[in-house]
Chain A
């Protein structure tokens, strides 16, 4: 089955700095890569996703890059703000029986210091 490794487990940055979270996956059949943000005590929410036919996707201050050959993908957050502080999860999945069941990384706790 799929295995997703996520690094770092904790990331501490100053407000305004950039933050990068990296993930690797093992199953070359994976073709959908969502990223979720989970604030303390709240539910995970999808913030951005990318499909395997795309190398990069941006949405305002966040971007995701995908390298299919190397089987790794990254989340980039620019101009970080205190409200970006949360746990971020990457995931990899492929269509199986009509649905996508993601395998999640263990999460990165991002702390943005004002």
Chain B
């Protein structure tokens, strides 16, 4: 069974640009979560998508947005990039009869110069 995949592995942008990150969940999982992991701050919850809808969002500004496609893959968009957006962005999926267990992808390392 393939795990959660994310692309790209690394992304380098300059301040003010937009970044798009992608995630494919485990087959059969309908929920996708996005987290920001900045150095020393643990995992901060960004967004939760389920069945194509945004179900919840963390304490982040509106320039962090995303969507979930009919095949349950997801996209995270970060507009007007700021230096402090540099972090590892992790995607996780859950589903089936273990909705509480989240399986993480390898992450996308975003660097904003």
Interface residues on A, range: 20 to 34
Stretch at the interface among A65-73, A78-86, A102-110: A102-110
Interchain CB contact under 8 A, B106 and A42: yes
* Dominant secondary structure of chain A at its interface with chain B: strand
B41 surroundings in chain A (CB, below 8 A): 106
A101 surroundings in chain B (CB, below 8 A): 33, 45, 48, 56
- Closest Cβ of chain A: how far from B60's Cβ, in Å? 14
Interface residues on B, range: 20 to 34
A93 at the interface (CB under 8 A from B): yes
Interchain CB contact under 8 A, B90 and A96: no
A114 at the interface (CB under 8 A from B): no
B75 at the interface (CB under 8 A from A): no
B31 at the interface (CB under 8 A from A): yes
Mark A residues whose CB is within 8 Å of B.
6, 32, 34, 36, 42-46, 49, 89, 93, 95-107
